[in-house]
């Protein structure tokens, strides 16, 4: 039975269509997955259903639930649907969580019409436990949580009211493999007895096929495919769907999973003709108040190496990159750059280091100046670190950096607010590459990218690491991409490095129970057959 019918839905910005004539149905208790490249209109479609688009966009068409057309409701009437009957989990949890409100306050808002005061505390605790969060998280504020913890808090908030329709926009992009599997199990349970229907917006075709009964594919704002999921995977009817599936197979069969890809010593560290490590971390620890986030981390990164750091949300992965980049002070330990002691306390030392090492943040939109164009954002490092550069050289560097990030030069006059999440992520990658760094720090830099762009950019970075000897340190939850991209894996668990080896060895003979469980979950759920 149909719950939501989307008919001839279009979204227009001045003379340009962001979505055009979209039509499909979501049944009661059904999971429908929405796939498409970055900027194809997936998030715009999710927001259109709730009518929470920017004022400069024009929405037309019909959104029918039974005899009710949501397009005909007043704003006040629409508020009765938002959050209670139709819930939304955003791709960027920071944008949907009030920084002045505790997590308990957020969940309380969702529950205000569906629980009594006596059971409120118990219901908040249950909502958090359902997504694997401890009860004490309730009293924290969004900025006090890791990206994965924030995302789980947003999911708890959305599910607490038991909505009839849940719009989940990349809900697991910030989650580790084990937590993602847990959340997907919660989604499946929510659809039991046709209780909650889910529109799952994703860039991961394997996850979409495993979870959804039907697949809907968008490209450049148009619907190009709507099919039963297994049929879509085995026999897609359009070229773009075939490209998505082919790209995912390329990730699964990537070069970095070969046994002979990267020579390494017994402990998994790279052997590079006895050259010193580019960056060496020695007994690095970080403690914030009583929270000891990183314990005694020692790591060597060599020229041309691509290391992926894997671990659950809150394990300290992003914290480690912030320590390396000088954004957080280490509680103890030392850094060495080419065997020379490195201190980032002085501005001059930081400036010299940033010419050689660049970082792409987990949430790129928070690191992009909203008042700057893409061109100014990407060329900023050139202005900072190169004293003399001609306008022609700057334009060449801009075009080269955008190309490496699979972006068109046509975007150079756009502002961050007009970009999709994936486009913003690629702009951040382009900015990091424009000055040809020796070390690239990537904090979930591929999490918002579809498989086609992920493969394209991944291949270009692999080529840079092999030809220009650029080292890459990648924080990721995506085991398939880590297997495709990295020459070495470092497994971080509760602030400790518990396992380190070349990629092939980790995937074929993991030593630690936590690593074994990660590989097992990945093979079971996401390593789909050809």
| CATH number of domain containing 12 | 3.40.50.300
- In percent, the amount of the chain with pLDDT more than 90 equals 57
Where is average pLDDT lowest: 81-85, 137-141, 318-322? 81-85
Whether residue 270 is predicted with pLDDT greater than 60 in this model: the reply is: no
Between 161 and 208, residue with greater pLDDT:
208
Give the range of the structural domain holding residue 107, as residue numbers without chain letter: 2-252
Asked if residue 50 belongs to a domain, the reply is yes
Asked if residue 155 belongs to a domain, the reply is yes
Structure tokens at 140: 């924290």
First-to-final CA distance of the chain: 32
Q: What is the pLDDT of residue 312?
A: 85
Whether residue 236 is predicted with pLDDT greater than 70 in this model: the reply is: yes
Asked if residue 465 belongs to a domain, the reply is no
Q: What is the pLDDT of residue 421?
A: 80
Structure tokens at 446: 């591929």
Mean pLDDT across 317-335: 92
Q: What is the Cα–Cα distance from 181 to 176, expressed in whole angstroms?
A: 9
- Number of structural domains (the chain) is 1
Q: What is the Cα–Cα distance from 475 to 361, expressed in whole angstroms?
A: 10
Query: What are the backbone angles phi and psi of residue 294, rounded to the nearest 5°?
Result: -135, 140
Q: What is the Cα–Cα distance from 503 to 458, expressed in whole angstroms?
A: 16
506 burial via Cβ count (<10 Å: 0-12, 13-18, 19+): buried
Q: What is the Cα–Cα distance from 133 to 157, expressed in whole angstroms?
A: 12
Asked if residue 522 belongs to a domain, the reply is no
Whether residue 259 is predicted with pLDDT greater than 80 in this model: the reply is: no
Asked if residue 219 belongs to a domain, the reply is yes
Mean pLDDT across 90-106: 84
Asked if residue 306 belongs to a domain, the reply is no
Whether residue 260 is predicted with pLDDT greater than 80 in this model: the reply is: no
Do residues 166 and 198 make contact, with C-beta atoms less than 8 angstroms apart? yes
Strand partners, 35: 217
Strands 165-169 and 86-89: parallel
Does the pTM exceed 0.95? no
Select from 312, 339, 334 the least CA-distant residue to 323: 334
Whether residue 261 is predicted with pLDDT greater than 50 in this model: the reply is: no
Asked if residue 412 belongs to a domain, the reply is no
Structure tokens at 141: 């504020």
For 294-311, write each residue's pLDDT tens digit. Answer: 999 999 999 999 999 999
Q: Residue 268 — left, alpha, or beta (φ > 0 → left; ψ -120 to 50 → alpha)?
A: left
Asked if residue 453 belongs to a domain, the reply is no
Strands 488-493 and 496-502: antiparallel
For 343-393, write each residue's pLDDT tens digit. Answer: 888 888 888 898 899 999 877 777 899 999 999 999 999 888 876 788 899
Helix (H, G, I), strand (E, B) or coil at 7: strand
């Amino acid at each position: 039975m149909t719950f939501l019918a989307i008919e001839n839905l279009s979204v227009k910005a001045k003379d340009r269509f962001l979505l055009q004539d979209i039509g499909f149905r979501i049944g009661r208790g059904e999971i429908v997955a929405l796939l498409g490249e970055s900027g194809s209109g997936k998030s715009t479609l999710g927001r259109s259903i709730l009518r929470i688009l920017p004022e400069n966009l024009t929405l037309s068409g019909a959104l029918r639930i039974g005899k009710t057309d949501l397009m005909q409701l007043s704003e006040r009437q629409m508020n009765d649907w938002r959050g209670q009957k139709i819930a939304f989990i955003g791709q960027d949890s920071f944008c949907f969580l009030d920084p002045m409100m505790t997590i308990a306050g957020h969940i309380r808002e969702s529950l205000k019409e569906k629980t009594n005061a006596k059971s409120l505390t118990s219901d908040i605790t249950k909502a958090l436990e359902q997504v694997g969060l401890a009860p004490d998280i309730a009293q924290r504020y969004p900025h006090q949580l890791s990206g994965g913890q924030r995302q789980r808090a947003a999911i708890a908030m959305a599910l607490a009211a038991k909505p009839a329709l849940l719009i989940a926009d990349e809900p697991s992009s910030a989650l580790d493999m084990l937590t993602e599997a847990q959340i997907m199990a919660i989604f499946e349970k929510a659809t039991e007895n046709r209780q909650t229907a889910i529109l799952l917006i994703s860039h991961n075709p394997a996850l979409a096929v495993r979870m959804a009964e039907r697949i809907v594919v968008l490209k450049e704002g148009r619907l190009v495919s709507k099919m039963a999921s297994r049929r879509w995977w085995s026999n897609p009817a359009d070229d773009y769907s075939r490209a998505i599936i082919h790209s995912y197979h390329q990730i699964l069969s990537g070069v970095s999973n070969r046994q002979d890809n990267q020579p390494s010593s017994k402990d998994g560290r790279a052997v590079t003709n006895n050259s010193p490590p580019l960056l060496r971390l020695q007994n690095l620890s970080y403690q914030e108040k009583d929270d000891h986030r990183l314990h005694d981390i020692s790591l060597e990164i060599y020229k041309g190496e691509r290391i992926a750091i894997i671990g659950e949300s809150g394990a300290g992965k992003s914290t480690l990159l912030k320590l390396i980049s000088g954004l957080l002070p280490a509680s103890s330990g030392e850094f060495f750059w080419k065997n020379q002691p490195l201190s980032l306390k002085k501005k001059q030392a930081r400036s010299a280091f940033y010419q050689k090492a660049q970082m792409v943040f987990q949430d790129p939109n928070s690191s992009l100046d909203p008042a700057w164009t893409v061109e100014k954002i990407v060329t900023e490092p050139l202005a900072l670190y190169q004293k003399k550069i001609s306008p022609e050289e700057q334009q060449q560097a801009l075009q080269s950096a955008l190309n490496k990030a699979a972006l068109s030069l046509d975007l150079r006059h756009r502002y961050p607010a007009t970009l999709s999440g994936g486009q913003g992520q690629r702009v951040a990658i382009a900015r990091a590459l424009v000055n040809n760094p020796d070390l690239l720090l990537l904090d979930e830099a591929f999490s918002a990218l579809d498989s086609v762009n992920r493969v394209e950019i991944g291949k270009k970075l692999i080529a840079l690491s092999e030809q220009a000897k650029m080292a890459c340190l990648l924080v990721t939850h995506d085991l398939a991409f880590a297997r495709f991209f990295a020459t070495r894996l470092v497994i971080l668990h509760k602030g400790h490095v518990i396992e380190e080896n070349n990629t092939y060895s980790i995937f074929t003979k993991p030593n630690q129970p936590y690593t074994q469980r990660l590989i097992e979950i990945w093979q079971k759920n996401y390593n789909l057959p050809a």
